[in-house]
Amino acid sequence: MKKTIGLIIALIMVFNVGLAWAEPTGNQNTFFPQDVTIKGIFGGHNIFFFVDEHWAPKEGCYLNLIFSQSEIKKYQNSTLTVYLNDIPIKSISLQDKDNYKTEEKIVLPKEYIVHGYNLVKLSTYHRITQEPCTDDLNPANWLVFHKESFVHLEYQEIPDKLGLKDYPYPYLKPSASVPVNCVILIPDHPTSGQMSAAAILATDFGRRVPYNDVDVKVLPYKDFSTLTESTNLIVIGSPRDADHVLFKPLNSDLPDLTDKAMITETISPQGQSNRALYIMSLDDDKLIMAAKALTWDKLVAQMSGRTQFIKQDYVPRDNEEKSPAKVTLKDLGYGDTLLKGIFFQQATFAVNIPPNHRLKEGSFIHLPIRYSQALDFNKSAVSIYLNHIPITDKLLDKERAENDELEIDIPREFWNENSLELKLIFYLEPYGFDCTNWRHGDIWALVSKEASFDIPQEIIKDRYFQHYPGMFIKNGAPDDILLVLPDQVTGDYLTMAANLMAFMGHSTQKIDNIKVIKSSDFEVANKNQNIIVLGTFHDNSTIRKLNDKLYLKFNEAGNKFESNDKLYLVDDYSKNLSSIQLLPSPFASDRHLMVVTGTTKRDLMAAKEYLKDPSFTARLVGDAVVIDNDGDAQGAYFVEPKVDHVLSKELRSQRLAARWQDNPQLIMYIVFFFMLIITGIYAVIVVMKEK
């Protein structure tokens, strides 16, 4: 009997262990952005990888290094040393490695990995002969780290505690390959405020993950039962919805929410392993204030408990135009950058230009630098590259070693770029350097964190997809956006609208000025806004009213697009299309109108990737496109772009120079032609003299 009881207890213990919730685990690979070539005896390369604050690195992290090298079989002392956060972790002899795409797996000890950015440094000593002075100049002495190399990170997620302070975690995990880890739910018949609150949260998700498709999902309550996987929930609603199964985790006695909003976090109704965040109010304005409060990290950091009441708009308004004229490396998150070692050392920095902006006259880069005085100043120099193109160089100067500076005008050809990548390559040769004796002092150069991009800007007024979504952004925030949805809002439309706004969020620094309405409310809405209309001719009455203003119009039946002289459409083809069009607002001269529509709802869904995925949006050109059900897009300019005559003149000069440079035969023909002319003139002169 005792044995039987003991067996039952053991089985219960095993069963309970099996049910215990294990923290989620994950992995991430950070690839080298490009092939890296190292020339000469000494060389190195740095790569960073990021560890989220909610990740705990596990055993199994490693660097998978793929490299090729020149022949070194006759010299046995070539090595590669790997550092993790400046700690040496492994040195490898290169003499016995294959010459082409050798693969080496180097374990990265988890105890040396920190939260935030981690640095993996590769340092090489590479010889191909026994000669002391030739290997550093010999072009046959090289090593290439291939872009297929990567850092592999294994991690376990650190569990969050119930409470608002960690928001947006776990609903959004910005560092994960699939960042959105929740579903946003709103009532089946939502108010404008409830839809707007969902759009605000989606826009904020895009802001927090600026370079990737975040793929937000927004559904009505009725679709909750169709979810096949357990996940975190963000539930937007009011006490009137409290009878729904979604509100089971909340107490039945909710507080009075007529003049305030409530944000509260609980265990999800789907189970212990997930969270549910509730945003509730009877007042639409207060509901929107609560959603906006969650986008402001300084405010969220003050929400120490599980519940927070919001009675006012805490997000500060700033009406000043902000296109920064000066951005320092310190502003971008860089500190002083110290480069140590002899010969070639380099550093790279980058700054993004706000969408819909271009640089103006007077743009330049200011570079305060310092460097060792133990250099050969007849040879040591620094070269400046901008977006991989050499701009200038200069010899280093002993008299200015402690306080040197460079000012580099940004050439006009870079004024339309979306970003500027600045690369400094130092050549640091010690004074009296002897290649037979490699002993030398401490050689270094430093780039100050006060170095700056001085970049006055102007707003691009052109209304084209190349500048989208810049025309809908102002002062780093959405610019008075009115989003008009069909009256029958489905999960497909809500999700598409949320991802459209998330894409706009990529270009913002704060979230404000977003309103979502149904088409039946458009007549009474304030139209002095930037308007986005989503739906078909049949389910969104606003599109029917705007049809005569569209570049690509529907026929009277609304079942196909009409062909025109900008986009010729075959009859059958025009019946199964979606279209995205950028137009001037017919309601306000300084506002914009974007219409996202299709012949049917199914056809309209073909456009969704172009509204949320940066890699798709980058393919769009012109001010109107059609997209078929295979995802192929065709664009056109209904308003012809204005040519920047100065830039065009420069481009013509560049093309002419390239034509001369690339066609030496042309030069020979022209020289020969002129020689014939000169010979002919000389012959005529001789004949005339004889007469």
pLDDT tens by residue, 124-156: 888 787 777 777 777 878 889 999 999 999 999
Please tell us whether the domain made up of 465-636 is placed in CATH 3.30.379.10: yes
182-310 belongs to which CATH class? alpha beta
Phi then psi for residue 210, to 5 deg, are -75, -15
β-pairing, 232-237 vs 271-280, is parallel
**What pLDDT does 6 receive?**
42
Higher pLDDT, 586 or 33: 586
**What pLDDT does 668 receive?**
52
Mean pLDDT of 501-529: 94
25-157 belongs to which CATH class? mainly beta
Mean pLDDT of 461-470: 88
**What pLDDT does 683 receive?**
67
CA angle 285, 288, 294 (to 5 degrees): 145
Q: Take residue 169 and report the two structure tokens written for it.
A: 């975690």
**What pLDDT does 322 receive?**
52
In this prediction, residue 687 has a pLDDT band, given cuts at 50, 70 and 90, of: low
For residues 245 and 255, what is the distance between their CA atoms, to the nearest angstrom? 19
Whether 42 has a pLDDT exceeding 50, the answer reads: yes
The alpha carbon torsion through 383, 384, 386, 389 (nearest 10 deg) reads -30
Share of the chain above pLDDT 70, in %: 87
In this prediction, residue 37 has a pLDDT band, given cuts at 50, 70 and 90, of: confident
Least confident of 149-153, 237-241, 312-316, 562-566: 312-316
Any alpha helices (H) in 598-644, and if so which ranges? Answer: 601-604, 608-612, 614-617
Q: Tell me the average pLDDT of the chain.
A: 86
For residues 611 and 616, what is the distance between their CA atoms, to the nearest angstrom? 8
**What pLDDT does 86 receive?**
86
Complete DSSP assignment for 19-78: HSPPPPEEEEEEE-SS-EEEESSEEEEEEEEEE-TTEEE-TT-EEEEEEEE---TT----
Mean pLDDT of 507-524: 94
Q: Quote the CATH superfamily of domain 326-434+441-455.
A: Galactose-binding domain-like (2.60.120.260)
For residues 497 and 533, what is the distance between their CA atoms, to the nearest angstrom? 10
Q: What is the DSSP-derived secondary structure letter of residue 615?
A: H
Per-residue CA distances from 1 to 4, 6, 13 (Å): 5, 9, 19
User: Over the stretch 632-647, which tens digit does the pLDDT of each residue have?
Assistant: 999 999 998 876 533 4
**What pLDDT does 195 receive?**
98
In this prediction, residue 38 has a pLDDT band, given cuts at 50, 70 and 90, of: confident
User: Over the stretch 440-452, which tens digit does the pLDDT of each residue have?
Assistant: 678 899 999 999 9
| Domain layout of the chain by residue ranges | 25-157, 182-310, 326-434+441-455, 465-636, 647-690
Per-residue CA distances from 447 to 317, 339, 344, 406, 424 (Å): 36, 8, 15, 11, 9
Share of the chain above pLDDT 90, in %: 57
**What pLDDT does 658 receive?**
40
Note whether 25-157 and 182-310 share their fold. no
Rg, the chain, Cα only: 32
> Can the peptide bond before residue 210 be classed as cis, meaning omega within 30 degrees of 0?
no
Least confident of 401-415, 432-446, 465-479: 432-446
**What pLDDT does 388 receive?**
87
Q: Take residue 435 and report the two structure tokens written for it.
A: 């290649």
**What pLDDT does 1 receive?**
40
**What pLDDT does 72 receive?**
75
Whether 602 has a pLDDT exceeding 50, the answer reads: yes
In this prediction, residue 529 has a pLDDT band, given cuts at 50, 70 and 90, of: very high
**What pLDDT does 315 receive?**
76
Least confident of 258-267, 349-358, 459-468: 349-358
For residues 350 and 276, what is the distance between their CA atoms, to the nearest angstrom? 39
Mean pLDDT of 333-352: 81
In this prediction, residue 180 has a pLDDT band, given cuts at 50, 70 and 90, of: very high
User: Over the stretch 97-118, which tens digit does the pLDDT of each residue have?
Assistant: 888 899 999 999 999 999 988 8
**What pLDDT does 493 receive?**
97
> Cβ–Cβ contacts within 10 Å for residue 191, how many?
19
Most confident of 309-323, 411-425, 590-604: 590-604
For residues 31 and 153, what is the distance between their CA atoms, to the nearest angstrom? 11
Whether 236 has a pLDDT exceeding 90, the answer reads: yes
**What pLDDT does 648 receive?**
41
Q: Take residue 72 and report the two structure tokens written for it.
A: 């070194």
Whether 208 has a pLDDT exceeding 90, the answer reads: yes
Mean pLDDT of 18-42: 75
E strand or H helix at 336, and its extent? none
**What pLDDT does 439 receive?**
65
For residues 266 and 275, what is the distance between their CA atoms, to the nearest angstrom? 6
